[in-house]
Amino acid sequence: MTVKGTISWRHLLLLPALTALALTAVRASAETCATADADALAWLDKMSRSLQQVSYHGIVTFQRGDEMQAMQVSHLVEDGVANERLTELTGQGAEVIRVDHPLECVHPGHQLLQLGATLQAGKCGVAQHYRFGVLDGELVAGRRAVQIRIEPRDMYRYGYILELDRETGLLLKSATIGRGSKILEKFQFASLSFTAEAVPGDGDHVVHKAQHAEPEAAMLSLGGARPEWAVNWLPQGFTATDEPAKISMRRTYTDGLAVFSVFMESLSEDITPGEGVVRSGGTISYTRGMHLSGMPVLVTVIGEVPLNTARMVADSIVAAP
């Protein structure tokens, strides 16, 4: 992963955000799940196949509140793998590169959106937690689009509006929707061509080769004693993305569309009681001090969920049995 200058973790997630919704294989049957919109899920299926088939290069804008950033993104599909590059055109010009990601790789979030077998079994899958609909889209980067509206069925997650290219199914534009239909953040292509630049392998670039670390390798090395802990409450539909050890300092969860992580940090002494909240677009960072097994710890929930969800997750943390 190349980082030249500084780049926020939200930028690091932009390329996966372009693919997290798109690397899915969704096949709908309105007969087996009355609440699932067959047309919407068919479009999501087309979107899922687009990043396995289409190479592209373009300029993307990303907006949170009054903050606007521009990035150059390239996606190259070749010889069974995907190579991707994201370069800031504003700020300090940071750059992220991911190479050799197998096209057949399916992550837990993508699995939750693979509704074919689930629907045939008479279950709604992710459609149990979201409503889907299809509308005529707008013109995005000179391309005709179809709009997919995704509305949450409860208060524990956000909604989304997606604009997909009518020809290829590529995700052209998305918006994260909060309470009162407020747009929390959005990105869209300002320009797009269906070619891709080669990802550099020499020079001063530090290239991240796609791989899947073992849970223990993903643990944070914070030193000192580490309490065993567990999260006792999750919104329905959320599942762990891995199986970390009880002393792992990080847990990550997804429902297929939204993602959040819980971090645990051991403290040398108690901190002042209270909670801290930082919002950035659709991302919340909620922090609280507590005791586990008699040890002072700092808990942080960060991700694309409402504040009440983050607070309830933190409330549920207990010492592992």
Do the Cβ atoms of 45 and 25 come closer than 8 Å?
Answer: yes
Same domain, 219 and 205: no
Domain membership of residue 4 (yes or no) is: no
Domain membership of residue 234 (yes or no) is: yes
Per-residue pLDDT of the chain (321 residues), as tens digits, is 333 333 333 343 344 444 444 433 343 333 335 656 778 877 877 877 787 788 999 999 999 888 899 999 999 988 888 888 888 898 888 888 887 777 665 454 444 544 444 444 455 667 778 888 999 999 999 999 999 999 999 999 999 999 999 999 999 999 999 999 999 999 999 999 998 666 654 444 444 444 454 444 444 444 455 678 999 999 998 988 877 666 678 899 988 788 999 999 988 888 777 889 999 899 999 999 988 888 899 999 999 999 999 999 999 999 887
CATH number at residue 313: 3.30.200.100
Do the Cβ atoms of 290 and 318 come closer than 8 Å?
Answer: no
What pLDDT was estimated at residue 52?
79
Same domain, 187 and 39: yes
Domain membership of residue 297 (yes or no) is: yes
Decide which of 194, 209, 224 is a domain's last residue: 209
pTM surpassing 0.75?
yes
Same domain, 146 and 262: no
Same domain, 119 and 266: no
What pLDDT was estimated at residue 200?
56
Same domain, 195 and 65: yes
Tokens 């524990």, located at residue: 156
CATH number at residue 71: 2.50.20.10
What pLDDT was estimated at residue 164?
95
d(CA 260, CA 283): 9
224: alpha, beta or left? (left if phi > 0; alpha if psi -120 to 50) = left
Decide which of 209, 238, 267 is a domain's last residue: 209
Tokens 């190579």, located at residue: 83
What pLDDT was estimated at residue 138?
92
Domain membership of residue 49 (yes or no) is: yes
Read off the DSSP letter of residue 168.
T
Domain membership of residue 1 (yes or no) is: no
Domain membership of residue 22 (yes or no) is: yes
What pLDDT was estimated at residue 104?
62
Decide which of 209, 228, 253 is a domain's last residue: 209
Domain membership of residue 186 (yes or no) is: yes
d(CA 192, CA 74): 10
Same domain, 195 and 302: no
Same domain, 236 and 165: no
288 lies in which domain range? 215-319
Cα dihedral 233, 108, 150, 155 in deg (nearest 10): 10
Q: Collapsing DSSP states into helix, strand and coil, what is residue 11?
A: helix
Which pair of tokens denotes residue 245?
């050890």
Same domain, 138 and 238: no
d(CA 116, CA 26): 6
Same domain, 134 and 55: yes
Burial 68-79 (b: 16+ CB within 10 A, else e): ebebbbbbbbee
Cα dihedral 118, 162, 97, 168 in deg (nearest 10): 80
Same domain, 196 and 248: no
Domain membership of residue 2 (yes or no) is: no
Same domain, 88 and 159: yes
Q: Collapsing DSSP states into helix, strand and coil, what is residue 64?
A: strand
Number of structural domains (the chain) is: 2
What pLDDT was estimated at residue 124?
61
Q: Collapsing DSSP states into helix, strand and coil, what is residue 114?
A: coil
What pLDDT was estimated at residue 9?
33
Read off the DSSP letter of residue 199.
P
Same domain, 143 and 202: yes
d(CA 105, CA 111): 10
